[in-house]
Structure 1
Amino acid sequence: MTPTADSPVSSASLPTAPATLDFRTVDVRGQRLSLAGLRAAVPRAQHGTVADAEEKVLDIISAVRTRGFEALRELALNFDGVDQAHPRVPAGALKAALDGLDPAVRTALEESISRARRFADAQRPADTDVELGKGAVVSQKWVPVARVGLYVPGGLAVYPSSVIMNVVPALAAGVESIALASPPQKDFDGLPHPTILAAACLLGIEEVYAIGGAQAIAAFAYGIPAGTGNTDAGVETGIDAGIDPVDVVTGPGNIFVATAKRLVKGVVGIDSEAGTTEIAILADATARPGLVAADLISQAEHDPQAASVLITDSEELAAAVRRELGVQAAATKHSARVCQALSGPQSGVVLVEDLEQGIAACDAYAAEHLEIMTADAAGVAARIRNAGAIFVGDYSPVSLGDYCAGSNHVLPTSGTAAFSSGLNVTTFLRAIQVINYSRSALEEVSGHIVSLSGAEDLPAHGEAVTARFAAGA
């Protein structure tokens, strides 16, 4: 039985949960914690995992940079059990995947694309011209980056929705060269899952690679020159053996993908560190325990490292949600995975003194997904400063945003929502400033420039201006 808003799963209808579910409690009531104190108190993944990932990812990046396709082939064999001659997906495979797509899934993808396009098209900022005086004009124009690399994860699930979330805003921004990578699948002749290929074909993406994990991020960031390994397949199919480097890399993934994005930032732009998923729910005594539990589980089923956090001032609600988690987790398809995620150090209940401390805890946690299930949910949501996306009330679950809200589900994780944004059209745009002054307009401010350049002990700056008004200039 699938829980819905109208018929939440109850303990009367489902079997008992496995004993392995241990959804812990962090009690911050009665404590006057600073922002730093709250950040330390809320559940988080253990830091050692990040350090371990960084060491491994550095090795992968180095291998891809130095040995190109040869390294990619070895990594595909080691991690995916696939022996690939060349990672480029043939055009025929893309078309065949779309032709074989379940009609119901195609209709759902088309609806998701339509909603995402409408929202993305409305995001593009307008160019600006400001006249600061006669003949003094400063402009800002938005220009798309030339080439992007979009990553779509594989692993424990299939994510055609992530194809949409990556591709649609890039197209809306006007990006002309789009490459997409997704892990090779042993069950599909070494190609990415056919539903992912079908979604790419539906959006008109022709450059698709069967490359997974950190190695995909490295290949996009640094490019792969021709002649670095076995290129016979590229020659035979007419595919250029090389992969051109990109300007921006986007897309969600596990801790290794997020770590790789952090390590190549500066070589390329990235959207955010969209790592293993997380959900926080701010709820009070008015919340419905069955719905809270269902939403926590919906994100826990992504990955054993997924984070599910309930922030509440109601001990009664926390107890009721814990009971519902036990019941619903036992019944869901990926029960073992869900129980592992809910029992990890990254998940649990945070008991707060009142709504004010609850809002402060939400801002300290800076969740990828934040649901508000309180009285006056819209009013509370308006007070939140730090979140990747905010879902307001009983009928705006995270699952809606994952597929069909029109919003983007590639969002910052691990507290980075405090300073970064979810994937959107501006991720693929650059703001270029244009300065156009006439002679008289420059002359009007020349004295100020001379004064400031002298104050900074950079007199040549001022001289570059006064030279324009010297005799015979």
Structure 2
Amino acid sequence: MLTVTDLRSVDTAAADLSRIIPRAEVDVASMVPTVAPIIEQVRDGGQQALLELSERFDGVRPPSLRVPAEALQQALDALDPAVRAALEESIRRARTVHAAQIPSGSTVELGEGAVVENRWVPVDRVGLYVPGGRAVYPSSVVMNVVPAQAAGVDSLVVATPPQKDHGGLPHPTVLAACALLGVDEVYAAGGAQAIAMLALGVREDDGEGWLCAPVQMITGPGNVYVAAAKRALQGVVGVDAEAGPSEIAVIADGTARADWVASDLISQSEHDPLAASVLITDSEDLVRDVQAEVERQVPGQLHEEQIRVALTGPQSGVLLVRDMDQAVEVSDLYATEHLEIQTRDAQALAARVRHAGAVFVGSHSPVPLGDYSAGSNHVLPTSGTARFSSGLSTVTFLKLQQVIRYEAAGLAGVSEGIQALATDERLPAHAVSIRLRAD
């Protein structure tokens, strides 16, 4: 049963809810020393180290680190037609949404001979990590590759764990998704060692040339070891985020269908034993009915034991609130990865939400829609980081570059002011640089 916490008498604005609101405890910092030797092993040992680490952690030694082109094509040729059609539709919708995210540059004229241009430039080479532990994630291939392609990234590489059941190759559906998207540089590597490979690069065995050239940015979700490796290597490369366990919060009132709410909470919990499923409601009747539906729907689920662990863990539960005003306050404090709103006027309520990775409005917009084919991206901020960060998007793969074009007249207009500021800051050489051009 989901634990119920009654917040109806709590002053949400004044109280410290950090100890009350459910949250999985994941200490990425404590794992950095654990992954540091793995990173050094990859740095020193290259390809052979990666193969040995795969054998150690994944239970299989890949026949080669880079997946052969014929394996990608064979996976696509053997793909179930229904799955292929679904992937193609997901790709089509994602391309449409992510193309609309491309920011337009601007040229600002500040006066005669004084122009600043804002120019968006794509990253040259990106490493995209696709997890492969408890489930198969071809959808994560789509969510990582499509925005990078929309941004105009020239070089894309996918790293995904080798699978013992597939002779050391990654899962064939993941390979098929790569082939569908035109990504032909794919590596059978997972975990912290894959992040190290992407960041540091791996030479050919003879030391001549790159087997996998270093990337400038790494994106994609993964376990705590992947997150720790990203943290350890941030600065060597750019990273999107440190993904924590997946989360859903559902704001619902008495009009919501209990069976739908329960199924959405359950669907999130099958990701991971640490996955968080939280219901925020002002209806005691809905709480009772959702609890009953959970007990009815969970038995017989493929991941029944894991679901029960997730739903009964400290990261999941019910938050009973006075009204929908307090529901929004609590939701913003929680800043969940996925927020569903199943209320009378869901759209109006959604407009008031400030902090959530993605907001799913109305009873026919469940989170699994966003996981696959809504057109939105499912790589989203977790662990409350939606208070200050966004999900993966086309902009993730772009850099804002400012181009300054001043002529003599433009510089003359600010010359005296710059010299005064430079002198006040005790940087006289700066003032001289400007004065020489003014003379």
Please state which band the TM-score falls in when normalised by the shorter chain: over 0.9
Greater mean deviation of Cα atoms: 406-415 or 316-325: 316-325
Query: Is the CA contact (8 Å cut-off) linking 1:227 and 1:241 kept in structure 2?
Result: no
- What residue number does 2:286 align with? 317
Pairwise CA RMSD:
1.7
2:354 pairs with 1:354 = no
2:13 pairs with 1:44:
no
Q: Name the residue aligned to 1:414.
A: 383
Q: Which residue identity lines up with residue 102 of structure 1 in the other structure?
A: D
Map residues 168-207 of structure 1 onto 2, 5 A cutoff. Answer: 168-207=146-185
Rounded Cα–Cα distance in structure 2 between residues aligned with 1:227 and 1:279: 45
The secondary structure found in structure 2 opposite 1:331 is coil
1:297 aligned partner, one-letter code: I
- Alpha-carbon separation, structure 1, partners of 2:286 and 2:61: 51
Q: Is the 2:347–2:361 contact (alpha carbons within 8 Å) kept by the matching residues of 1?
A: yes
Provide the TM-score with structure 2 as the length reference.
Answer: 0.96
Q: Give the superposition deviation at 1:328.
A: 0.7
What residue is the counterpart of 2:371 in the other structure?
Answer: 402
Name the residue aligned to 2:199. Answer: 221
Which residue of structure 1 lines up, in the alignment, with residue 80 of structure 2? Answer: 102
Query: Which residue of 2 is the match for residue 17 of structure 1?
Result: none
In structure 1, what is the equivalent of residue 273 of structure 2?
304
Aligned identity (percent) is 57
Corresponding residue for residue 125 of structure 2 = 147
Q: Does 1:28 align with 2:7?
A: yes
**CA distance in structure 2 between the aligned counterparts of 1:337 and 1:347, rounded to whole angstroms:** 13
**Which residue in 1 is equivalent to 2:187?**
209
Helix, strand or coil at the partner of 1:387: coil
1:147 CA drift (Å): 0.2
Greater CA deviation, 74-83 or 389-398? Answer: 74-83
Structure 2 residue aligned with 1:62: 40
- Whether 1:124 aligns to 2:102 is yes
Q: What amino acid does structure 2 have at the position aligned with 1:443?
A: A
Confirm or deny that 1:89 pairs with 2:95: no
User: Is the 1:273–1:416 Cα contact (8 Å) retained in structure 2?
Assistant: no
TM-score, normalised to structure 1, is 0.89
Deviates more, 1:251-260 or 1:190-199: 251-260
Render the CA deviation track for 1:244-286: whole Å, top value 9, x for unaligned: 1111111112222223223322221112223321111111222
1:16 alignment partner in structure 2: none
Counterpart amino acid of residue 367 in structure 1: T
Q: State the AA in 1 paired with 2:154.
A: E
Change (3 A) 1:353 1:57: farther
Counterpart for residue 230 of structure 2: 261
Contact 1:277 1:368 (8 Å CA) reproduced = yes
Structure 2 unaligned segments of length 5 or more: list them: none
Counterpart CA distance in 2 for 1:29 and 1:59 is 49
Q: CA deviation at 1:372?
A: 0.7
Q: CA deviation at 1:448?
A: 0.9
Contact 1:371/1:398 (<8 A) preserved: yes
Question: How far apart are the structure 1 equivalents of 2:412 and 2:317?
Answer: 64
Shift of 1:25: 2.0
Shift of 1:287: 1.3
Q: Does the CA contact (< 8 Å) of 1:35 and 1:360 recur in 2?
A: no
The alignment covers a number of residue pairs equal to 439
Gaps of 5+ in 1: 1-21
Contact kept in structure 1, 2:12 and 2:326, CA below 8 Å: no
1:427 aligns with 2:427: no
